[in-house]
Amino acid sequence: MKIACVQMNIEFGEPIKNFAAVKHYIEEAAKNGSDTIVLPEMWNTGYALTELNRIADENGERTKQFLQELAYQHRVNIVGGSVATKRSERFYNTMYVVERGGSVTSEYDKAHLFKLMDEHLYMEPGQKLNRFQLDGVECAGVICYDLRFPEWIRTHVLQGAKVVFVPAEWPKKRIDHWQLLLQARAIENQCYIVAVNRVGNDPDNEFNGHSMIIGPWGELLVTNEEEEGIFYAEIDMKEVEDVRQRIPVFADRREELYSLKK
């Protein structure tokens, strides 16, 4: 599977400009032979939370149609990062995954809302897992702050995920945490982690990318890129099976010890 990470600047509160930029990047990545294209978090609006009533995507309809058309036209899978959506007068941070035939194969609302960026004041948390298949590969997707909850990632992997996608708007001031947590999640779950962060600035934060593709041994296949652009890597699911056979972490788990109930 050839992955393309779209590390882009996001225009604050400007969906029209952001849709145009994403279209350009998807077309470029498809032209370069990508199987799966991954976008960052909240790429339609950025964290313009006070403007959501005006700019959030109603029921995600515009985003879904947009991604479906591009996926079908270019025969690529698109992990649609996430976008601000509005449903029944409430707002969500929503990921849409579209397979190469143009069908939406997964919809996920961010489960853990980030209080330091006031997300909890404007948005509703998701209530379900995000597992899906791309070209027969078991995958999962979480969003940004979800990364700090290892039990959430492990839950997806225990249900079969071999690749975990992590779109984000992770600020520069905590970028060291980003890399450490991503590598830890890859190593402890013996899976690929595909993490796409934005670049640029909004009124309150600076973002410096460092999108990463990390192998199941914790090796960095893509990292430390700070400029805007597309970054590529090929991943092989045989590597996941090899690591899990060499160090049988999942077979050695002792679930009877892990419950917090007394």
Q: Which of 144, 162, 191, 225 is catalytic?
A: 144
Residue 192 and residue 205: Cα distance in Å, rounded?
28
Asked about 5 being catalytic, the answer comes back as no
Residues counted in the chain = 262
Q: Which of 64, 99, 107, 110 is catalytic?
A: 110
Pairing of strands 36-38, 77-79: parallel
In sequence order, the 6+-apart residues with CB closer than 8 A to the CB of 40 are 6, 7, 8, 10, 81, 167, 168, 169, 196, 197, 198, 211
Asked about 144 being catalytic, the answer comes back as yes
Q: Which of 41, 99, 138, 169 is catalytic?
A: 41
Asked about 58 being catalytic, the answer comes back as no
Residues classed as catalytic? 41, 110, 144
